[in-house]
Amino acid sequence: MLGFLKKLMFKKTQRSQEALADRGLLVFENTSEVLQAEKHLRSLGFAVTVKGPPPEIQKGCDLVIEFPLMEKLSLERLLTEVGLPPLAIVPVTAPLLEPVSLFHTKDYGPYLMVRAANMKITVDKKSLRIVNISGGGCPDVPYLADALVGKTLQEAPQPRDLGHTLCGYALQLAYEELCRQCS
């Protein structure tokens, strides 16, 4: 029985490492560069995702861009052409380099809260009215909260249209995830 379990665990680890081998991480100096690079690459049709960096490769920014590794050369060239060369491009080849999910959802009975990075947005599940915005430490958080709290998800402006900081970006991600979960 023990031999069977060891074989099973080996196969699972091998499959996990194979799944990671086709992805890479773009590491940048600061959040602004990550946001600009993501916007540029998405506008060109690339399937990229912003994630939290694993501690082993964090270079000062709280975000990295995960991408299909086969597109490494194209992405590097395109980003360099627009003045956004990444500090590093790291293949995800080990479970320790797995990027961190930015989303956490908590169900509080009548309320649903989604957290992205340090920003949280909470809605009343029946009315889909935003009841709270919290977190972060950026100067635009109070403004974002004032603009969103009390409105339904459909009425509320997109946080990305109002905020210009990492907190605004994280709130946009939380807002999109909340809309996805409530649809």
In angstroms, the Cα distances linking 59 to 52, 54, 151, 171 are: 12, 10, 38, 23
* Stretches in the chain below the pLDDT threshold 50: 1-20
DSSP state of 78: H
For the stretch 27-57, pLDDT in tens is 998 888 988 999 999 999 999 998 888 777 7
Residue ranges of the domains in the chain? Answer: 2-97, 103-182
CB distance 23 to 68 below 8 Å: yes
The predicted pLDDT at position 56 comes to 77
Q: Which fold has domain 2-97?
A: Alpha-Beta Plaits (3.30.70)
Tokens of 23: 């992805």
